[in-house]
């Protein structure tokens, strides 16, 4: 954060047109916006403060700090920007003073003084202050806490949860009831299930109030049924496993849905049974797509599992072990693989499969088989003819006419 703050200080210097070298301002995030306050050129510190809203892509000026400041501890908590300690009075004084900016009132208010006057220390929501320096790079081991600021970060409103009362004032010993309304009819709720949220209480007491958990259980309509399953695949030589991130497309006469599988390859969807029948297609880069039809039964779970095959041809890789015999050295000590005499049936089936794949635009098997036959033939005329044919087919399909010409004129191996 310190490097980020230094960059922001330089940006602010350009904006006010007077600063050339900047020492750290302090920056933090509240409710999706970035807040930056203070800073110094080394000769004079500033009281300027700004906020950047990424939703509109623009900086806006905030009310000036109550005193110039840089090198202070800073954190976003309880919906406010909290600053404490640092250097003030135009780089002449270490301070333990603190201040807080509240975006809801667009104003700064005083914080209790900290126990130690330091700068360049660490800070965290709480409001914790850790270490720092008293000057001349003299570090300290002090730690302290200003309680009551433990509500960290920012959270978006939950659209299905609303409060009957949003602002109350309680005297010591008093209590109040807050009515919560849970609404599952909004656009954000599209599936049954359990939805969780937390009700945060922003307060000005010295106590810690833990966010209150809220849960809404949404049951499926009586005409809905659940369709679920697992998408698995087997990489060449591997074991079956779930395919993460596969696209599961469901199309009916009334609606369409697009799902992604989780890390275990699972998917699930509740859908109105009146959508029947449902066409399903499962796809993932590197795998051959697979489709089927499904019928959802209201109030029940329908399971549709898919086993995808890899795009690269594994079939020949298995058959290749049958095609080629054990390597034997030739007269020059080079290893050659010889076709076993009984491999004729397997070889013919492999060549036919490679031709078929190449004809439909998949030259991989022809390329692999042609290459292996090239080295395994060792003078076998039939294998050499097959090797040349398959290599020419594969290179032509790949748009490599020069290599296809070379393969077609390849002399027999010695």
- CA distances 192 to 220, 255, 278, Å, are 5, 17, 20
- What is the secondary structure of 148-159 as a DSSP string? EE--BS--PPPT
∠ at Cα 192 (154, 212), nearest 5°?
35
Same domain, 276 and 362: no
Q: What is the DSSP letter of 142?
A: -
Same domain, 231 and 93: no
Q: What is the pLDDT along the chain (414 residues), one digit of tens a residue?
A: 333 333 222 222 222 222 222 334 444 545 567 888 998 876 788 999 998 877 667 788 899 999 999 889 998 887 888 999 999 988 888 999 999 998 878 889 999 999 999 988 888 888 899 999 888 778 889 899 888 787 676 556 778 888 877 788 888 888 888 888 888 887 778 888 888 888 877 777 777 777 788 888 888 899 999 999 999 987 655 678 888 888 999 998 888 899 998 888 999 999 999 988 999 999 988 888 888 899 999 999 999 999 988 876 554 444 443 444 333 344 443 333 333 333 556 677 778 888 888 887 777 778 888 877 776 655 667 777 888 888 888 888 888 787 777 776 655 444
Q: Is residue 158 part of a domain?
A: no
Q: Is residue 162 part of a domain?
A: no
CA distance 314 to 353: 12
Instruction: Report the interhelical angle of 344-359 vs 364-376 (nearest 10°).
Output: 150
| Residue located via tokens 């409060």 | 163
Q: Is residue 102 part of a domain?
A: yes
| pLDDT for position 12 | 26
Long-range pairs, 188-194, Cβ under 8 A, ≥24: 188/159, 188/160, 189/160, 189/218, 191/218, 191/269, 191/270, 192/218, 192/219, 192/220, 192/224, 192/270, 193/217, 193/218, 194/218
Burial tier of 337 (Cβ tally within 10 Å: 0-12, 13-18, 19+): middle
CATH of the domain at 268: 2.60.40.1120
Stated pTM of the model: 0.42
Same domain, 26 and 133: yes
End position of a domain, from candidates 310, 342, 367: 310
CB 180 within 8 A of CB 161: yes
Q: Is residue 216 part of a domain?
A: no
Same domain, 299 and 322: no
Same domain, 62 and 142: yes
Q: Is residue 368 part of a domain?
A: yes
Q: Is residue 131 part of a domain?
A: yes
- CA distances 110 to 65, 81, 113, 116, Å, are 11, 12, 9, 17
CB 242 within 8 A of CB 250: no
Same domain, 23 and 91: yes
CA distance 304 to 294: 8
- CA distances 53 to 39, 50, 58, Å, are 20, 10, 6
CA distance 412 to 409: 9
Same domain, 242 and 356: no
| Residue located via tokens 């333990």 | 96
The residue range of the domain holding 326 is 315-408
| pLDDT for position 10 | 25
As given in the structure block, the two tokens for residue 307 are: 């086993």
| pLDDT for position 2 | 33
∠ at Cα 199 (32, 153), nearest 5°?
30
Strand ranges (DSSP E) for 54-142? Answer: 58-61, 73-77, 80-84, 87-88, 93-94, 98-102, 107-111, 122-124, 126-130
Q: Is residue 176 part of a domain?
A: no
CA distance 198 to 72: 32
End position of a domain, from candidates 310, 329, 364: 310
Same domain, 42 and 144: yes
End position of a domain, from candidates 114, 133, 149: 149
Could you give the count of Cα atoms lying within 13 Å of 53 in the half-sphere of its Cβ?
A: 8
Q: Is residue 197 part of a domain?
A: no
Number of domains in the chain: 3
- CA distances 353 to 278, 318, 349, 357, Å, are 33, 13, 6, 6
Please state the separation of Cα 404 from the chain's center in Å. Answer: 44
| pLDDT for position 321 | 38
Same domain, 387 and 285: no
Same domain, 302 and 336: no
Rg of the chain (C-alpha set): 35
Same domain, 297 and 337: no
Same domain, 349 and 296: no
CATH of the domain at 139: 2.120.10.80
């Amino acid at each position: 954060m310190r490097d980020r703050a230094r960059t922001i200080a330089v940006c602010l210097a350009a904006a006010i047109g007077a600063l050339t070298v900047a020492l750290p301002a302090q920056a933090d995030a509240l409710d999706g916006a970035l807040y930056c306050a203070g800073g110094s050129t080394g000769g004079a510190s500033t009281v300027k403060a700004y906020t950047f809203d990424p939703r509109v892509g623009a900086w806006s000026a905030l009310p000036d700090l109550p005193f110039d400041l840089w090198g202070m501890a800073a954190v976003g908590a309880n919906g406010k920007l909290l600053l404490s300690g640092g250097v003030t009075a135009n780089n002449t004084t270490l301070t333990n003073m603190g201040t807080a900016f509240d975006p809801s009132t667009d104003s700064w208010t005083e914080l209790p003084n900290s126990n130690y006057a330091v700068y360049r220390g660490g800070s965290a929501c709480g409001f914790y202050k850790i270490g720092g320096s008293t000057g001349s790079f003299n570090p300290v081991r002090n730690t302290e806490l200003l309680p009551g600021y433990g509500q960290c970060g920012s959270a978006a409103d939950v659209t299905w949860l609303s409060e009957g009362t949003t602002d109350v004032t309680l005297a010591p010993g008093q209590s109040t009831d807050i009515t919560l309304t849970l609404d599952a009819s909004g656009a954000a709720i599209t599936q049954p299930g359990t939805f969780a949220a937390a009700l945060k209480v922003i307060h000005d007491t010295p106590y810690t109030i833990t966010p209150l958990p809220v849960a809404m259980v949404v049951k499926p309509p009586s005409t809905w049924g659940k369709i679920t399953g697992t998408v698995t695949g087997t990489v060449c030589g591997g074991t079956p496993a779930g395919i993460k991130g596969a696209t599961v497309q469901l199309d009916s006469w009334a609606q369409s849905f697009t799902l992604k599988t989780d890390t275990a390859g699972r998917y699930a969807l509740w859908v109105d049974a009146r959508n029947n029948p449902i066409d399903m297609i499962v796809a993932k880069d590197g795998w051959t797509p697979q489709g089927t039809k499904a019928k959802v039964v209201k109030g029940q779970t329908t399971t549709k599992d898919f086993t995808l095959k890899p795009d690269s041809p594994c079939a020949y890789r298995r058959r290749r072990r049958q095609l080629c015999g054990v390597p034997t050295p030739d007269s020059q000590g080079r290893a050659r693989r010889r076709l076993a005499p009984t491999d004729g049936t397997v070889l013919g089936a492999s060549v036919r499969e490679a031709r078929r794949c190449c004809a439909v635009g998949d030259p991989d098997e022809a390329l692999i088989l042609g290459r292996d036959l090239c080295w395994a033939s060792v003078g076998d005329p039939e294998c050499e003819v097959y090797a040349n044919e398959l290599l020419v087919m594969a290179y032509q399909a790949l748009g490599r006419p020069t290599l296809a010409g070379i393969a077609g004129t390849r002399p027999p191996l010695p």
